[in-house]
A and B are shown apart, each in its own frame.
Chain A
């Protein structure tokens, strides 16, 4: 409670600022009126016109089980709406990378529209494509055959609930920093230098495809320059005319040149970035900026110091730049609600963080970016703030304030020291690991030289428990999916049971990584993306496309789902079956087969008497650690020899804990089939009740250096915990402690009254929600309904 405040402040709902300029407000409104506006960024499809042409790739999307039934129709729809592109006569003489580069060039320079919205200060509108895969007939045949085998296996594993295997675009940080530093012309100069060497024809042509791709980007910029000039000529408003002329001038220089101003840097970066989405025919999920505040700062600093721009103008430019990123959501077009906006696209912008010697790298642009984030309240670009032990207190307080004010989370926070340990563990030299960036949501990656896939393979860890208790068979179908680990009734010791669970994990990892590698190989063979390869280190030197493993770092990720459910289940077996003999394996197996029907007492016993992860209980936390490190190390043994991509672990479970729930049998922690498995590294819903500090301590024991991709951890707070300046200081202190004993990434949700109302009907989801009153102890869901009503209605005012 702040001493000088005379009353408890009212919680404001975070919405966009009232102070947006008319221009920005208008642009923001334009984006949000999808159904009314004329201009949309819906996908345009393009074909070479051959009857075997493909414009869609299933493995690009196969991490989303919900759309498996729709693949065929999406494929057909895109093909049928595809516009035939005029290709040069000798097109089919080229290798695949060059064909792709040529096709991309034609589409982006001749076919894609060049819209400039009224009032825009940053231009570049249409980037959503379904490009021909540019395959010749025999390539198409082999690709489709391989695709079919892969998809058959992926479907099989998905339907049983073992997990998903895919090969998803995006999810990387191109070397934007280099483009800003030397311009595309600098990059092309390097490539032209390489051409002077002694190269195989294939290698030579590959480098030429990279050069062509860079020129494509410049051509697109020039097209927009022409458009801007055209509009300027007929523009009557003199201010707007001047703006358009300026835009025309900047776009003529384009990303080819080193930007001569902050505005130009934003403009060029936007073109370069949007074209990656166009080139991959993938709407931006995970395509991230990296440490934007670092490589953009010199431009900002120079302009501010020389008086070329004011902070206000810089802010307005940034606001315009921000809005552009949200048009990725037009992709879903007239499908979902809210334009299909969920928060899953993840063009991540990494802010702040440490330097090579632990020093803090926060700068003025970092602070300005936070202001823009707060003012705009948009989904994209997603910010992620890197925190470390030397994060300055004023910055940390600012970050904490923003977290406290926002309903839901304004950004995620990654923790440098733990994240760096993970990067080092997987082989990145410590002298480089400090400069990691983040993609997607929280996935740690290097910048500009790292195509480490992050969401491709997702394993249902809980299935291993089901298999261990059923000799490797899926309980619902009786299919032998896991390996035979024996009749659980013969396990005379806990170690035997644990051994069976581990053996099943080994097998699930094998199955999924093999399917993942099939997709990875298909992408390597049939989907080179020279434009992206041009922006990634070493591809040119190696003569290999980024999808073939041409850049420096090439990992793949196995994201683990349900670690808390697994830990709770294994702990329950240890305690209740073996240690205290409160039940027998025979009874437990029967109960699970019956989905606990007729076994309610046993189910409740397992829920209440066996320890649960997330409560700082060493009994179950040590089991969690052992299993986590075990499967992570097992995953690390797997590699796709075709691309050299090595698997490493992550804990980004996204929303899989929902669809996997009905596919996973009841578990010894008292969970019934259909009940959610745990998400990220969080506790099972309803099972953590000792507050955030206990939850953090549990997470910190997992040995997360073996999880280099990062671990998703969410803490939910009621507004009462962050209501005053003093509370915000406590939140900042909580974050500093997290940096010491917690995980790699954290999302804090401060909930609003609507969510509290939900808590009434779904108390398990909020078992750890606390309402703090001086000298009083209560958990929200243990308070009676009437009082819950009262708390809810008063939340926005005084609690």
Chain B
């Protein structure tokens, strides 16, 4: 079966998205709208036009080319009228520098599979493969399944990186065609879950059970977000869930919050809600990991950027040095 789907990026040589060396496919569209999302360009299902200020040379080829007159270059930057914009891509074509970019590229599953196979040799030597991520791959499940089938036919290991919010039917179908699941458990308080992610918790937990019962290897992840998911209670609950309800969890990773996505938000005229939040400290990450271990989860680890009291500042100390002997 072939089908088409929307992808925002294909990232080769990914080292953090599953075992081995992987290519991560970022699917466009996600049922959740997490407050802290670091891939905001992947939330909306439809393609969207963005403008990279740093690349613009002000030639206005895009403005002239736009058939909908949706563009205007003002002293405050490029103004895109998203109501008029049909995301036809004419401006992207005309733009000499790549400042105008359509987020979301249409791929046929066959073409995508062929593209992903380019790194097969690296998958083979590292026991890696392809990770279906995003956004949310299950949001375009027919397309995701076609891609997974094609990859498995070529003996490529497929991992699904999912937020878990989809119908049970879709989840079961996806499970049939992937080798491993990377599953997010973000927040166990139902009210907070709905508040922070936009969707109810129960579906996510029910799917977690389905995944656990599938027998496939599972890696669980929790993004540790200040003021949102970083409480000891939250981690304890998640760990308890894992320890009691899920077998085949090979590892549990706590992912420290970072603010690297701030620039991506400005592409959408939005401000990253957590742009001023402090990074998590090493001590906190360690403490939360220990809590998880205490609940009986084996193989707990944490990663990411942390706030460190031993920051090494290289420029500030100006030593006096002699200029002559």
Interface residues of B (CB under 8 A from A): 9, 11-17, 20-21, 24, 26, 38-39, 57, 59, 61, 95-98, 118-119, 121-122, 124-128, 133, 161, 221, 251, 253, 255, 258-263, 282, 285-286, 289, 299, 301-306, 308, 310-314
Contacts and interface: CB of A to CB of B under 8 A. Distances in A.
B20 to A, nearest CB: 6
Which one of A6, A616, A740, A796 has the highest number of Cβ atoms from chain B below 10 Å of its Cβ? A6
Interface stretch (A188-196, A430-438, A545-553, A728-736): A728-736
Given A794-B305, A797-B308, A608 B98 contact: yes
A775 B38 contact: yes
A600 B258 CA distance: 37
A483 interface: no
Contact of B15 (A609, A721, A737, A784): A721
A693 B13 contact: yes
Interface stretch (A25-33, A654-662, A766-774): A766-774
A776 interface: yes
A87 interface: no
Contacts of A18: none
Interface string A730-765: 100110110011000000000001100100000000
A5 B300 CA distance: 9
Given A772-B16, A773-B38, 7 more contacts: A1-B303, A608-B96, A693-B13, A775-B38, A775-B221, A791-B305, A798-B282
B154 to A, nearest CB: 16
B121 A774 contact: no
B301 A3 contact: yes
A5 B299 CA distance: 10
Which one of B125, B289, B302, B311 has the highest number of Cβ atoms from chain A below 10 Å of its Cβ? B125
Contact of A1 (B59, B253, B263): B253
A611 to B, nearest CB: 13
Contacts of A770: 13
Contacts of A776: 38-39, 258, 260-261
A6 B289 contact: yes
B187 to A, nearest CB: 17
Given A3-B299, A741-B121, A774 B305 contact: no
A799 B15 contact: no
B259 A790 contact: yes
Contact of A793 (B11, B24, B118, B312): B312
A605 interface: yes
Contacts of B311: 793-794, 797
A377 interface: no
Nearest to A603: B96
Contacts of B282: 7, 798
Given A733-B122, A772-B16, A787-B260, A777 B128 contact: no
10 smallest CB-CB distances across A and B, nearest first, come from A733-B126, A604-B96, A691-B13, A736-B125, A774-B16, A605-B96, A784-B263, A733-B125, A737-B125, A737-B122
A774 B253 CA distance: 10
Given A753-B312, A793-B313, A727 B15 contact: yes
Interface residues of A, number: 58
24 contacts: A6-B286, A7-B285, A7-B302, A8-B304, A600-B59, A604-B57, A605-B96, A608-B97, A691-B12, A694-B118, A733-B127, A737-B121, A737-B122, A773-B16, A776-B260, A782-B263, A783-B260, A790-B305, A794-B305, A794-B306, A794-B308, A797-B311, A798-B282, A798-B308
Given A693-B119, A737-B122, A740-B121, A775 B262 contact: no
A601 interface: yes
Contact of B12 (A693, A757, A782, A798): A693
A185 interface: no
A741 to B, nearest CB: 5
A737 B286 contact: no
Contacts of A692: 13
Nearest to A742: B121
A697 interface: yes
Which one of A5, A690, A777 has the highest number of Cβ atoms from chain B below 10 Å of its Cβ? A777
Interface string A4-36: 011110000000000000000000000000000
A216 B316 CA distance: 58
A777 B24 contact: yes
Interface in A685-699: 690-694, 697
Contacts of A736: 125-126
Nearest to A770: B13
B244 to A, nearest CB: 21
A677 B12 CA distance: 26
B164 to A, nearest CB: 14
Which one of A737, A787, A793 has the highest number of Cβ atoms from chain B below 10 Å of its Cβ? A737
Contacts of B24: 775, 777
Contacts of A8: 302-304, 306
Contact of B122 (A734, A771, A782): A734
A450 to B, nearest CB: 32
Contacts of B15: 721, 727, 730, 772
A721 to B, nearest CB: 6
A254 B302 CA distance: 59
A770 B310 CA distance: 24
A149 interface: no
A424 B149 CA distance: 42
A718 B266 CA distance: 26
A783 B38 CA distance: 13
Contacts of A144: none
Contacts of A753: 312, 314
Nearest to B8: A777
Contacts of A2: 301
B21 A798 contact: no
Interface in A115-136: none
A793 B307 CA distance: 11
A37 B240 CA distance: 67
Contacts of A489: none
A74 interface: no
A191 to B, nearest CB: 50
Nearest to B298: A3
Contacts of A5: 301
Interface string A550-568: 0000000000000000000
Given A601-B96, A691-B13, A798 B306 contact: yes
A420 to B, nearest CB: 19
A693 B21 contact: yes
A732 to B, nearest CB: 8
B262 A733 contact: no
A63 to B, nearest CB: 35
A476 interface: no
B290 to A, nearest CB: 8
Nearest to B131: A775
Which one of B12, B24, B263, B311 has the highest number of Cβ atoms from chain A below 10 Å of its Cβ? B12
B20 A730 contact: yes
Nearest to A618: B118
